[in-house]
Chain A
Amino acid sequence: MAQDRTNPRLVLRGIVKRFPGVLANDHVDLEVYRGEIHALLGENGAGKSTLVKIIHGVLAADEGEILWEGEPVAPRNPAEARALGVGMVFQHFSLFDSLTVAENVQLAMDGARDLEVIAKRVRDVSAHYGLSIDPERHVHDLAVGERQRVEIVRCLMQNPRLLIMDEPTSVLTPQEAEDLFKVLRRLADEGVSVLYISHKLAEIRVLCHQATVLRAGKVVGTQDPRTCSSKDLARMMIGDDLAALERRAPKVSGAVRLKVDNLSMASDTPHGVDLRHVSLEVAAGEILGIAGVAGNGQNVLLSALSGEHHAARGESVRIEGKPVGHLGPRERRDLGLAVVPEERLGRGTVPELSLADNALLSSYGKGNLVTRGFVDHERSHGLAEHIITLFGVRAVGAKAAARSLSGGNLQKFIIGREILQNPTLLVASQPTWGVDAGAAAAIHRALLDLRDKGAGILVISQDLDELFAISDRIAVICAGRLSEARPAHEATLEQVGLMMGGLFDPPEPGGSVSGGPESRGMEVLS
């Protein structure tokens, strides 16, 4: 181990960053040593991203100082940070789809270099760290895990002494994450410092040497994550113990709420993933979880179920036995469907409009909110107030604009709005993505309560912990194909992880034997 705990490579002292109305970083101190993998842990909104943006020169701190190898520095932009030896791999990749790997790397190098030389360097670097990247391939052909490797290699070409990784495993399967950890450990052994941002406690405990926990912009403590339990870290992160989710066995009555039969649908975005021969069933009183890495057809599946996109055959989607493939959202809602889309602002709600108007947005068919073409504003206002109190939404009232709410509160509002329509079938995509732990627990509670009342629920999520916590059965979507669903208590994290990489035989239409996974799914594993 090349850790050297005498001279810290990076020291932050009393970093303060204010945004209008928010203190994003409140006198943050941090020390990162040579060869150390240092976790920056905290909930969404705790100030992690702001802090690394300051280190990376994207933002300037209002107060405090940064010491790099003992010298005070103030990088004014990412190029200056790069010159110091700070590299960053972002959560959202910044690659050009239509260029090759080598061309993308060339663009990031200061000063144009010969493409041949770069391609050779890419090969050398990737071979050295076991990253397996072909510099000649086009980025749009690469799977998400491979794109991340390109980002990492691009960073490593600059010989960084500090590598910042922002939530790197949120787009990876558990197996891909394990490969990434090997690379990071190897870099640490060579003396590179790694600042690892995450809110996943399990991976921090196996990977990191130190963990600094941020809450509401302040450092609440620095711990060796290998010696303290996940529970301790969670308590530091949330500031409270989370009530364990209590679950009752499902009371499946046998009524089929939703039946999807051999549904194929083209994506409406270029480079989007098409839905291919998807079949599934959701029974009354159960939660079916659909796992999968983002961008594997979840968006098309949701709009095919919600009615935003019509299916070619009406019978390929059935709600309560009725073919609805040709029906729009309104007609499907009348049959008992409620939908929670992934994007809260701009799809689940209209950002500029009040909560009262946003309550009306999907509830207009119910509760006499609209009579003879006129909106009963008193009723929609009352409905919004009802949602706010019943689901503990923190908002100044029904007149508050949707965009003035935090992500978690807005999501509670949307979930509440959908649940109050007494749906017999609820389809929810990423119900707790970016939501703080307290709100996530409340949302899970609400979903389980709805299930216990006899509704069928379909949850699409990237978060395996969430799916294992609330689902009765789990299926996996990869490259637009859906696996057979299996009972959640029989499935293991490892199995589901492998399936997320495309390693499953999709149920074939007409009962013919399948010829194994297609090449696109396999690429992810290679």
Chain B
Amino acid sequence: MNGRSVGFLTLEPRAHASRHWVWGAPLLAVALTLVVGAILFAALGKDPIAALVGFFITPLTSAYGLAELGVKAAPLAMIAVGLAVGFRANVWNIGAEGQLTMGAIMAGGFVLSVNHLSGFWILPLAVVFGALGGALWAAIPAWLKTHFNANEILTSLMLTYVAQLLLNWLVHGPWRDPAGFNFPESEVFSPSATLPILWEGTRLHLGVAIAVIAVLAIWVLLSKSFLGFQIKVMGLAPRAGAYAGFSLRKVVLTVLPLSGALAGMAGFFEVAGPIGQLQPAISPGYGFTAIIVAFLGRLHPVGILFAACFMALTYLGGESVQMFMGLPLAVTGLFQGMILFFLLGADVLIRFRIRIGAPRPGKAA
């Protein structure tokens, strides 16, 4: 019936998908990534245990490393919860990277225009501009979907490249710092537009705290609010939503800008925090990695918080083994890819079982 077959292997749907494995799958994926990672390190001629320790443990042994974990996990978590809201409603925003960039551009533009001023009002207003930039950028695919039924996966992804090229042009052209020796960078943000440091001696900034608050707020939204209920219903059974009188249009026009706003805020926190100015490269792909984080966290805010920390660790670990063991930075991408691969594989095997041999007669064809 629903059986799918490739050659002599057949995937048969299971009668019952185990509930425990819904949370077991991400843990299993992490474990498998470690095992394969060890094999990989051995193949590169490194001591696998030392390499794994270097990758996953060493970064956490210093105050600086722990703070860096927060600095990297914060944008991932904040973007991922926003995406998770959409994914639950079957709205597939793949362009968070672009919304992050657009948030940084909008907020950065505002900051640069008031960079000679100082005042407590600059920072909150800049955060609003960041959220607005991301939200407006995500509203484009939302509008295209509700009016032309355009697939938001394609439109949101394509707009990512538009945003990045726009940022590139701005920092190479109109917004380039005149005193910046022709480097493609804006002026450094004034102290009034820079996020305060929460932990002296590290880069842990206010944005990290705000990210945790945002995750908790989304948790409340999803589990307690009527909007969260509508989102769940629309994602699980759109026809039941229509029967209840919920509007798919409204849901799309809410969740896409919401996830865009969170990504846009994350974008501003990057430029107003660790970076301190606009540059051509403001994110090591947080917007895309957040998609993995959302799924690794099972689209649940608490799960996402843990998943964000783990994925942040892959960034830190990659840098660490690059510095101390001379391994290529591509190791980070490899680990992230493996995690996603094993997670998707585990998810398939939760719902299906593999049978060796041709499809059973009459059952699968």
Contacts and interface: CB of A to CB of B under 8 A. Distances in A.
Contact of A360 (B227, B229, B362): B229
Contacts of B229: 357, 360, 364, 375
B362 A353 contact: no
B245 A57 contact: no
Interface in B245-274: 245, 247
A59 B224 CA distance: 45
A343 B226 CA distance: 24
Interface of B: 15-16, 224-229, 232-233, 236-237, 239-240, 242-245, 247, 361-363
A77 B243 contact: no
A66 B236 CA distance: 43
A293 to B, nearest CB: 23
A347 B238 CA distance: 8
A76 to B, nearest CB: 5
B152 to A, nearest CB: 22
A330 B230 CA distance: 13
A361 B362 contact: no
A353 B243 contact: no
A346 B16 contact: no
A175 B15 CA distance: 41
Contacts of B245: 307, 328-331, 333
B224 A353 contact: no
B362 A346 contact: no
10 tightest Cβ-Cβ pairs between the two chains A and B: A329-B245, A77-B361, A330-B245, A350-B237, A20-B15, A347-B239, A58-B362, A77-B362, A370-B226, A350-B240
Nearest to B229: A375
A78 interface: yes
B237 A351 contact: yes
A351 B233 CA distance: 10
A273 to B, nearest CB: 19
Interface residues of A: mostly helix, strand, loop or mixed?
Answer: loop
B222 to A, nearest CB: 11
Contacts of A361: 233, 240, 243-244
Nearest to A334: B245
B232 A20 contact: no
Interface string A49-92: 00000000111000000000000000011100000000000000
A333 B224 CA distance: 23
Contacts of B244: 329-330, 361-362, 364
18 contacts: A19-B15, A76-B361, A77-B362, A308-B243, A329-B243, A329-B244, A331-B245, A333-B245, A339-B243, A346-B237, A352-B237, A353-B232, A360-B229, A361-B244, A373-B226, A375-B225, A375-B226, A377-B224
Nearest to A347: B239
B362 A343 contact: no
A169 interface: no
Interface string A176-210: 00000000000000000000000000000000000
Contacts of A350: 232-233, 236-237, 240
Nearest to B365: A77
A49 to B, nearest CB: 14
Contacts of B232: 350, 353, 357
A374 B224 contact: yes
Contacts of B239: 343, 346-347
A297 interface: no
Given A328-B247, A347-B243, A370-B226, 15 more contacts: A58-B362, A59-B362, A329-B245, A347-B237, A347-B240, A347-B242, A348-B243, A353-B232, A361-B243, A364-B244, A374-B225, A375-B224, A375-B226, A375-B228, A377-B224
Contacts of B236: 350-353
Given A20-B16, A353-B236, A57 B243 contact: no
A116 B281 CA distance: 70
B226 A341 contact: no
Contacts of A357: 229, 232
Nearest to B242: A308
A349 B224 contact: no
Contacts of A329: 242-245
Nearest to B228: A375
A306 interface: yes
Contacts of A308: 242-243
Given A20-B15, A59-B362, A341 B243 contact: yes
A349 B247 CA distance: 16
Contact of B240 (A78, A348, A374): A348
B218 to A, nearest CB: 14
